[in-house]
Structure 1
Amino acid sequence: MEKKIKLLDTTLRDGEQTAEVVFANEEKVFIAKMLDEIGVDQIEAGIPIMGEEEKAVIKKIVKSNLKASIMGWNRAVIKDLEASIECGVDAVAISISTSDIHIKHKLHSTRARVLEQMVKAAEFAKSNGLYISVNAEDASRTDEAFLTNFFKAAKEAGADRIRFCDTVGILNPISTYNIIKNLKEAVDIDIEMHTHNDLGMATANAIAGAMAGASYLGVTVNGLGERAGNASLEEVMLALKHGINGDITDYNMGKLRSLCNYVAKASNREIPAWKAVVGEKIFYHESGIHADGALKNPLTYEIICPDELGLERKIVIGKHSGTAAIKHKLVSEGIHIDDFTAYCLLEKVRNTATAFKRPLTDQELFSLYDEVISEDKLAQEA
């Protein structure tokens, strides 16, 4: 992990390939600008060969004077690369399948022809002064010996890095680590992880790849992407910063939530309240033990400060609350109660929350408090 890990965001390409998702042209430009503000190192802006409208959007992004490198995605076809060059991008992804199942059934080709096609495309891109990422599609199901030869051939043809694609999300962190470590030892070239979330391990696999020597991680905002999506930008960014020696230090995480909310709206996909990193309620505490700990010292149950992500901590009063949370809530309103009153109130809170099947509002809590006080007075008078 001596070398800084860089992030390649492909929300505008692979993210938009999510079924039923389409970004308006101006949305794509705005998303690119927001990604740049956060500090993403490279933005895969789209697929130029798709047509004139796609080219126009990519050209506008290129001309937006962003700090990030702008990449166009291409098949290993010269006309694709010519379209990217026309857009003015400084980097290109050259993608071709490497697994036998893809080569036979998708490409109707052979390993030898795949290598030849990739080399020809990479050499053309290099002759035009472009930064090159050669993409090994379905790399995770590719014969490792052939994949090693593919890496070597790509490097010799001028590739700056290889994109290792777990196209169908079949890997786990251990297998990812082992494969990337072996490839890195066999071929001295930068490796980018492109991980899919079919088994729910895209982020974990991306991080495992980084630990094994990969220097680029491919991500999308909110984990958008084909089928179950890709590794999410926000999860990978936080995992790197808080889980691997604080590797990321120069990213503006305070703007993550606004970016994620914007992309959610543009893609018509709501962010679940429990979504890691940016979910609205991830710093809500209800369980008595957890709420008590968080009140005494937030570090007991929070590894990230809510303010860092533009979120807030909230103590919820419900079925699983304890007396500490109830006392805290009442003290905030200037009401101080003893332990006995707190226990009596807690019983009413739990019964009411169970009956309502939800946490209580402040008004409901105060109403129950009034009931307890009234009952206590009646008992004393009796």
Structure 2
Amino acid sequence: MKNKGRATIVDTTLRDGEQAAGVAFSRGERSHIAHILAAAGVEELEALVPAMGKEDEEGFTLLLDENPGIRLIAWNRMRRSDADASLRAGARFVHLSVPASDLMLRKKLGWEMPRAISETEYLVAYCRDRGAEVIVGAEDASRSERSFLVDLLGAAADAGAFRVRYADTLGVQDPFAVHEAVGYLIERIGAQVEYHAHNDLGLATANALAAVRAGAAVSVTVGGLGERAGNAALEQVAAALSLQDERETGIDLTRMTELCEVVSSASGRPIAPDRPLVGSAAFAHESGIHVDGLLKDAALYEFVRPECVGRERSIVPGRHSGRSALRHCASALGRTLNPEALDLLLFRVRERWSTGSPSDPWRAFASLLEEEPARAPE
């Protein structure tokens, strides 16, 4: 395998993920999620907003105490009071977020561009003077004026920020635009660049991969959990970087299904059956042509091995099943069929499924196996 360099992945499930509408993790749930993320090899977690109040401030301190080996990042607005709350909570890494588009600066804060730069310079230096490492996030960077973005993030780097975040806050870009924009920043900013994707157009994972190829770190959430349509999904980004892009990530992909199930339960957001990699149907096969090939060599119809991400392959009986599939399914139930019985079973399956899919395919299939033998119509 050609080594393209280790990718830096920052998980923000416990901050941006929890900002999804209707989601609120308990302290115990946060601790459990952080523990599994750490066990899966995630080295950086952005968690909570200590400025929200005592619960978040104490919650951040608890996560720090429980995870001494992880880089835990506290998120803040570009306000001294926010930074003070994070510093009181013991944060050694603080993320300072500032709007980067003229629209957000004017409408949200009533600031002109020069003030955004001066506030950033001041607060980065303030946090650095108090021993914290600083990341500056440019909110709505994808809709900002490029010259201003370079000035803003360049000033952050000059003031001591070790990383700057390019946030596609509304998910408006495509992978080509992301690759170009991130590459442009990397050439001009004296700090590591991180890309933060949103999935409003369904492009978050692809955009995150484009950013990594341009040389950036990326932030993700488990299952893509996040505001509106969510963020780039940890499991998809890590798997694509490892299996497709041949990059080291440090992430144990075999923990991804477990991790997604834990976050799904805590968030109350069910995992769609066809969710890539971790959905219950992600490695389910019915089509006769596919199953016949799969039984000969799984690589014919599976690029990702199910066990690689903590799942198992399933072959499901149904209307599109062929003889190989039905023989396999019958064998799974302890039955061996001769060619004539197999032909009859194929007829019966297609007849039964012609009225619609049964709620329990395996139960319906088992009942057909138990029927008295008879010849299929010519």
Fold match by TM threshold 0.5: yes
Residue equivalent to 1:84: 86
Q: In structure 2, what is the Cα distance between the partners aligned to 1:373 and 1:348?
A: 11
Residue equivalent to 1:297: 297
Q: Structure 2: state its 5+ residue gaps.
A: none
Q: In structure 2, what is the Cα distance between the partners aligned to 1:366 and 1:283?
A: 22
Give per-residue Cα distances to partners, 1:338-375, cap 9 Å, x unaligned: 2x543443232122112142476445334434557333
1:6-155 correspondence runs (5 A): 6-155=8-157
Q: Is the 1:341–1:372 Cα contact (8 Å) retained in structure 2?
A: no
Q: In structure 1, what is the Cα distance between the partners aligned to 2:233 and 2:205?
A: 7
Return the offset for 1:255: 2.1
State the TM-score, normalizing by the size of structure 1: 0.93
1:182-193 correspondence runs (5 A): 182-193=184-195
Q: Is the 1:9–1:219 Cα contact (8 Å) retained in structure 2?
A: yes
Partner SS state of residue 373, structure 1:
coil
Residue equivalent to 2:308: 308
Q: In structure 2, what is the Cα distance between the partners aligned to 1:369 and 1:255?
A: 37
Q: Structure 1: state its 5+ residue gaps.
A: none
Return the offset for 1:71: 0.6
- Which region of structure 1 is more displaced relative to structure 2, 94-103 or 33-42? 33-42
Residue equivalent to 1:317: 317
Q: Is the 1:176–1:209 Cα contact (8 Å) retained in structure 2?
A: yes
- Which region of structure 1 is more displaced relative to structure 2, 298-307 or 109-118? 298-307
Give per-residue Cα distances to partners, 1:108-152, cap 9 Å, x unaligned: 110000111111111111212222110000000011111111121
Give per-residue Cα distances to partners, 1:212-256, cap 9 Å, x unaligned: 110x211111111111111111111111111111422x3222222
Q: Does residue 1:240 correspond to 2:241, yes or no?
A: yes
State the TM-score, normalizing by the size of structure 2: 0.94
Partner SS state of residue 43, structure 1:
strand
Q: Is the 2:5–2:247 Cα contact (8 Å) retained in structure 1?
A: no
Q: In structure 1, what is the Cα distance between the partners aligned to 2:215 and 2:247?
A: 16
Q: In structure 2, what is the Cα distance between the partners aligned to 1:202 and 1:72?
A: 23
Q: In structure 2, what is the Cα distance between the partners aligned to 1:300 and 1:286?
A: 15
Partner SS state of residue 34, structure 2:
helix
Partner SS state of residue 46, structure 1:
coil
Q: RMSD over aligned Cα, in angstroms? A: 1.9
Q: In structure 1, what is the Cα distance between the partners aligned to 2:230 and 2:73?
A: 20
Q: In structure 2, what is the Cα distance between the partners aligned to 1:326 and 1:56?
A: 57
Partner SS state of residue 109, structure 2:
coil
Q: Is the 1:322–1:346 Cα contact (8 Å) retained in structure 2?
A: yes
Q: Quick one: which amino acid aligns to residue 274 of structure 2?
A: W
Q: Quick one: which amino acid aligns to residue 328 of structure 1?
A: H
Q: Is the 1:29–1:57 Cα contact (8 Å) retained in structure 2?
A: no
Q: Quick one: which amino acid aligns to residue 229 of structure 2?
A: A
Return the offset for 1:175: 0.7
Counterpart selection for 1:211 from 210, 213, 225: 213
Count matched residues.
375
- Change beyond 3 A, Cα 1:360–1:75: closer
Give per-residue Cα distances to partners, 1:295-327, cap 9 Å, x unaligned: 111111112221222211111110111111012
Q: Quick one: which amino acid aligns to residue 232 of structure 2?
A: A
Q: In structure 2, what is the Cα distance between the partners aligned to 1:98 and 1:23?
A: 30
Give per-residue Cα distances to partners, 1:160-199, cap 9 Å, x unaligned: 0111100000011111111111111222421111100000
Q: Quick one: which amino acid aligns to residue 268 of structure 2?
A: N
